[in-house]
Amino acid sequence: MTTTAPQQELTPLLLMQLATGFWASKALFAAHEIGLFSLLARRDGGTADQVAADLEIAERPAEMLLTACASLGLLDKRDGRYHNSPVAAKYLVPGGPDYFGGFIAFNDQRIYGSYGRLIEAVRSNRPVGWDAATQRSFFDSADTTITRDFYEAMHALSTPTGQALASVADIRTRSRLLDIGGGSGAIPIELCRARPGLTATVFDLPHVTEFAAGKIAAAGLSGRIGTAAGDLFAPGPYPVGHDVALLSLILHSFNPDQDRQILAKTFACLPGGGLVLISELLVDDDKTGPPPAALMSLTMLVEDEGRNYTAAEYEHWLTETGFRRTRRIPLDVPGANGVIIGR
């Protein structure tokens, strides 16, 4: 005799969670912007009235913000005093080696507003975050403020990816890395820290490589990581002399034809046996998830002209452009759930 498990009664709980998801993100954004986490780090915790006095706000909003952050796992409360939780202490206190605040601030100041116009992007199939006068995305803007904010965010997002990639066996056998569209140089910095014999080049737009050079110098790696200024789509080859090329969080910004062009130029700049690594938040091959990749794809809808692709799509394009023996390696970091490798 078999029994059927009782069917769970449907409730609107999932819809409640989805509809109010921005409550949590805005609580995080507000706490970060007002300096709550750095304050609690400096004073080794505090009560609601102490926090209110230090931040020059009323006790009512201070208590409410502290309670919200504690409920979200950002704060711990011990003996009547609020303290940064381990995740806040590690990632949300400015000046720390793993500071993630650039990504928090960028999403608050830029992406949140663009998402308010998501339905406009859905109906028009056009990005809504572009500069109306120049029709340029912030991704290739020469505005120094936009560049700094965006690449600070990407540096925070890419640092854990670099740490994860350091354990990939294919990279451990290579000696010279080309990071194509490498932004701040976060991944080469982490790879060179983990691999003393590795050298690298960050290839990106001129104003971006200036930013990267500062990050590389601050890491003490200027002797091993260089920069090369150029445009992904300009005539002429990418820099040569490397045995592995990295495309991390790059290809999702473009359409399939542009991605094939980038991969063909990458193939041409590598020697026989050279490797390419595509590090991305990959959409499942059946296009049902996972949420980080699927929702980041909507970010591309409001902010640019690309989308997040599947591993199968990348493997197909790699084969079309000459690469062979493609394979997938799962990752579990905020900026990537997998890497596709082609030889």
With tokens 């904010």, the residue in question is 149
Give 152-198 pLDDT, tens digit per residue.
889 999 999 999 999 998 888 899 999 999 999 999 999 999 999 99
Q: Which two tokens stand for residue 55?
A: 């931040």
Strands 75-78 and 81-84: antiparallel
Rounded average pLDDT over 283-306:
95
Of the listed ranges 1-10, 131-140, 230-239, the least confidently predicted one is 131-140
Mean predicted lDDT score pLDDT of the chain:
93
Closest among 268, 275, 209 to 240, alpha carbons compared: 268
For residue 127, give every residue at least 6 positions away whose Cβ sits within 8 Å of its Cβ, in sequence order, or none: 121, 137, 301, 302, 303, 304, 305
d(CA 146, CA 109): 11
Q: Which two tokens stand for residue 114?
A: 């663009």
Give 25-71 pLDDT, tens digit per residue.
999 999 999 999 999 999 999 999 999 999 999 999 999 999 999 99
Class of domain 23-91: mainly alpha
pLDDT surpassing 90 at residue 140: no
155 is catalytic: no
pTM across the whole model: 0.90
Identify the band that residue 3 occupies on the pLDDT scale cut at 50, 70 and 90.
low
pLDDT surpassing 60 at residue 248: yes
Identify the band that residue 98 occupies on the pLDDT scale cut at 50, 70 and 90.
confident
Which CATH code, of 3.40.50.2300, 1.10.540.10, 2.40.128.720, 3.40.50.150, is assigned to 101-342? 3.40.50.150
Rounded average pLDDT over 277-301:
97
For residue 125, give every residue at least 6 positions away whose Cβ sits within 8 Å of its Cβ, in sequence order, or none: 301
pLDDT surpassing 90 at residue 232: yes
Query: pLDDT exceeding 70 applies to what percent of the chain?
Result: 93
59-71 and 36-43 are packed helices; what angle lies between their axes, rounded to 10 degrees? 90
pLDDT surpassing 60 at residue 104: yes
Domain extents in the chain? 23-91, 101-342
Identify the band that residue 149 occupies on the pLDDT scale cut at 50, 70 and 90.
confident
Identify the band that residue 136 occupies on the pLDDT scale cut at 50, 70 and 90.
low
pLDDT surpassing 70 at residue 133: no
Rounded average pLDDT over 113-126:
95
Check: CB of residue 62 under 8 Å from CB of residue 35: no
Q: What's the pLDDT at 220?
A: 97
Give 195-217 pLDDT, tens digit per residue.
999 999 999 999 999 999 999 99
Q: What's the pLDDT at 150?
A: 82
d(CA 148, CA 140): 12
The active-site residue out of 83, 155, 242, 252 is 252
Buried b (16+ CB within 10 A) or exposed e, 83-115: bbbeebbebbbeeeeebbbbbbbbbbebbeebb
pLDDT surpassing 90 at residue 124: yes
Identify the band that residue 2 occupies on the pLDDT scale cut at 50, 70 and 90.
low
